Amino acid sequence: MISYEPLWKTMEERGISQYRLLKSGLDNKTLDSLKKGKNITVLTMEKLCRILNCTPNDIVEFID
């Protein structure tokens, strides 16, 4: 199972809000998918990494 908990922690640490993600090019549907723990594309992962200046490990983790 995939968890986006690291994303929310990374955003908090860097002081980046959901509003800033939207203003940086993420759309509402994608943000909603993240909140609900749904799948995202690699392109979205790349976009998040660029916005947050981080690696995929700072966004997603695999849990049992």
Residues in the chain: 64
Q: In whole angstroms, how far apart are CA 64 and each of 25, 30, 52, 60? A: 31, 24, 26, 13
Q: Is the pTM of this model over 0.85?
A: yes
Q: Is 26 helix (H, G, I), strand (E, B) or coil?
A: coil
**How would you classify the pairing of strands 2-3 and 61-62?**
antiparallel
Task: Please choose, from the candidates 34, 38, 2, 5, the residue with its C-alpha nearest in 3D space to the C-alpha of residue 21.
Answer: 34
What does each of the 64 residues of the chain score in pLDDT, given as a tens digit? 899 999 999 999 999 999 999 999 999 999 999 999 999 999 999 999 999 999 999 999 999 8
**What class, spelled out in words, does domain 2-62 have in CATH?**
mainly alpha
